[in-house]
Structure 1
Amino acid sequence: MHRTATAVGVVLLILSAVVPAAGAAGAIGAQDGGALECEFPLTDSDASDHQVTVDAEPERVVTLNPSAAQTMWEIGGREKVVGISQFGGYLEGAESREVVTSGFPSTVNVEQVISLDPDLVLAPNTIDNDSVQQIRGAGITVYRFELADSVDSIYNKTQLIGQLTGECAGAEETVSEMRDRVQTVEEAVAGEERPRVYWGTEAGYTAGPNTFVGQIIERAGGHNVANEANTSQPYPQLSEEFIAQQDPEFVVVSVPPEQLGNDSRSYIPQDSVVRNTTAWEEGNIVVVDTNHLSQPAPRIVEPMTQMAQAFHPEAYADANTTTTTTAAPTTTTADATTTADTTDDESGGGVPGFGVPAAVVAVLGAALLARR
């Protein structure tokens, strides 16, 4: 049960990733390094080329995906959020919000959304168009986002959500802090030899170079073995033979926060090809919070920092950086165990397994390719 729940959660978190459409990013946002400005009415085209107008600063916001909710929490707009998806419950205080989605793929309870009388609904493009049209038909403003593919797009999305919701100051501060964290990581690992890194599932699905997860690995100073697969698929399926041939030196495992705290090797199934790699032999299993790695939102800097610390501990230490994370994942190596600082109490749960079953990730791949 743990493994099934984790599998569905990971996929839906990625499926519900959001980022502004190219037109939106260019139309509104801080230009030429200027300050982010919130002005209403605000009009812009969303990912579905729908002309969206927000007449006044929203007081009631519904988020249909967890990354939008996480962004609202980080930029200081959480009090405006009245509705969340079923995967946003990990956020502090989220239990007092209405859950308006369910199932897999995630479906929206349109009547419930309408009953909340929101001024604005933030929706991923994986939500079916009929639901969006029904909500708009009730006179409610809906902004649809595209899938994320880079760290820079997460910066843009954060700023855009800030402008759409009237939280420009918080969005600008959040993006500034993110950029500082990313710059610290990149400066620390610059010039270092990049270890081979694999993030994936039991079925061999992984993040390619044209995904934000793949980019996180690279910017943390690792070399994503999926780069060698020579495929245009964003989340390709790698064979056991390919993974063994690449012989990753580090494996990144993402698990829900309630299941953090176990020995890092315990997350690798007995029959996994990972047990035949250098990463397993040397104990280089990096365990991160799936709510941070799988959602294109501000907390993505947390797993990036953890990876940099694991891949290049001496170089990172020499950079004289200070990190504060919102979870307490542990990285176990053959020589030492290091635990990041924490602001939340965590308790170890059942072993969730290594990743997502093939059938579930097949849905992920199809949705990612469909884009809209």
Structure 2
Amino acid sequence: MRDTTRTYLLTVVLVLSVVAAPVGAVSAAETTESNGDAAVECSFPVTVTDATGTEVTLSEEPTRVVTVNPSAAQIMWEIGAKEKVVGLSKYATNLDGADSRINVSTSENVVNVEKAVGAEPDLVLAPNATGTETVEQLREVGLTVYHFREAETMDDIQSDVETVGRLVGACEGAAETVSEMERDLDVVRETVDGQERPDVLYSFYGYTAGEGTFIHTIIETAGGNNVAADANITGYKQVNDEFVVDADPDWIIRNSDTPEVPRTDAYNSTTAVKEDQIVVVQIEHLNRPAPRVVNAVTKLAETFHPEAYAAAEATDTATPTAEPTPEQTDTPATADDSETETGAPGFGVLSAVSVVAAFGAVSMLRRRRR
């Protein structure tokens, strides 16, 4: 998915760089926190402190990486570093080309230390869902392991993307990925601004997601009101029929692994079921704190607020109309929250053509990411 879009975007970026070489860009590290580092450039050796308080040091760029959770694998794919991945976990096999990698997990999706060692990795990426005991086992056999903190927000996910990019020598790809996420999130933010928030319930196997989860963040970012948070639920908790009836959600979210809503009296009494307002989201977009979570946010925002989303997307893809006059060219450019930097001085006719191409690339990218 990303290889084609990256090639197209790179072409546009090269055109822009020739036409507007003096124009600076805001780096991903300036818009998200990444372990306190402001630089996007990769260099080695590098030392990063992980969730266990361990200082993880890599003396040189790793060429063999094992991911023991699907979210880490997805990050590697999205930042253009999938060729470095030699081993991954059971539920990451949906990624393009993943079936050629070593499966380092058991049938119960527990990390198989022997298989991980056999993959001869320079680095093991272990997201928060991987237990500390497993991380210690991997370290005891001599593997270098980075253990992630729990991701609860979009900023956390973007920080993880930048950290992985820094560790594997793919800083540029990581910065590009964060930038892509921000472009889509900007459209969503414009969509939900001033909109009434429908009550939303995420339901799976009798559980829901409350505050302190990134699924809560997904719902709220997409312009919904998480009824689990209203009930003071934190983390992932099992819920009963009484909760479902009292919550009476306007929308129910299901993931693609459990698309059917339970046909109980409690669920049948909800506004969501009565009005057939059930939205199913791909599990790899919804349940993994990784870049494709933006796809889930976008789908939900478009579902909850279709007219506002259409208007925001149209505004986002519209061609810029204003060009700076020659006397403005001495005015320093300032960074803002827009998705392009076409307001910077020094642009001419050729620049305008390039910008149109860039907007085409963004539009093309957004269509392909869905």
TM-score category (smaller protein): 0.7 to 0.9
Q: What are the superposed Cα offsets for residues 116-167 of structure 1, whole Å, 9 maximum, x if unpaired?
A: 1111000134434444334323432111112211111001000000001101
Distance 1:44 1:314, change over 3 A: same
User: Gapped runs of 5+ residues in structure 2?
Assistant: 1-32, 318-365
Root-mean-square deviation (Å): 2.2
1: CA distance between counterparts of 2:221 and 2:134? 37
Q: CA deviation at 1:39?
A: 1.4
Query: Is this contact kept in 1: 2:104–2:112, CA < 8 A?
Result: yes
Give the secondary structure class of the aligned counterpart of 2:237. coil
Q: What is aligned with 2:241? A: 240
- Residue of 156, 159, 162 corresponding to 1:159: 162
Q: Which has the higher contact order (CA 8 A, sep 6+)?
A: 1
Displacement after TM superposition at 1:96 (Å) = 0.2
Unpaired segments of 5 or more residues in structure 1?
1-24, 324-339, 345-372
Residues 69 and 130 in structure 2, CA contact (< 8 A), matched pair in contact too: no
What is the TM-score when the length of structure 2 is the normalising length? 0.73
Secondary structure of 2:313's counterpart equals coil
Q: 1:243 Cα shift?
A: 1.6
2:217 to 212, 215, 218: 215
Deviating runs (4+, > 4 A) in structure 1?
340-344
8 A Cα contact 2:192 2:308, kept in partner: yes
Kept in 2, the 8 Å contact 1:202–1:272? The answer is no
Instruction: Look up the equivalent residue of 2:254 and give its one-letter code.
Output: V
In structure 2, the partner of 1:137 is 140
CA 1:272–1:303 in structure 2 vs 1: closer, same or farther (change >3 Å)? farther
Q: Are the equivalent residues in 2 in contact too, given 1:268–1:275 (CA < 8 A)?
A: no
CA contact (8 A) 1:221 1:311 kept: yes
Instruction: Return the TM-score normalized by structure 1.
Output: 0.73
Closer, same or farther: CA 156–140 of 1 in aligned 2, 3 Å = same
Pair 1:164–1:272, CA change in 2 (3 A): farther
- Shift of the 188–125 alpha-carbon distance from structure 1 to 2, 3 Å rule, reads closer
8 A contact 1:206–1:236 mirrored in 2: yes
Cα pair 1:188 1:319 within 8 Å, conserved: yes
- Is 2:92 the partner of 1:99? no
Alpha-carbon separation, structure 1, partners of 2:254 and 2:290: 19
State percent identity of aligned pairs: 46
Q: Structure 1's 107 and 210: CA in aligned 2 closer, same or farther, altered over 3 A?
A: same
The answer as to 2:292 corresponding to 1:299 is yes
CA contact (8 A) 1:185 1:219 kept: yes
CA distance in 2: counterparts of 1:250 and 1:155, whole angstroms: 28
Which residue of 1 is the match for residue 329 of structure 2? Answer: none
Q: More displaced, 313-322 or 171-180?
A: 313-322
CA–CA distance in structure 1, aligned partners of residues 119 and 62 of structure 2 = 13
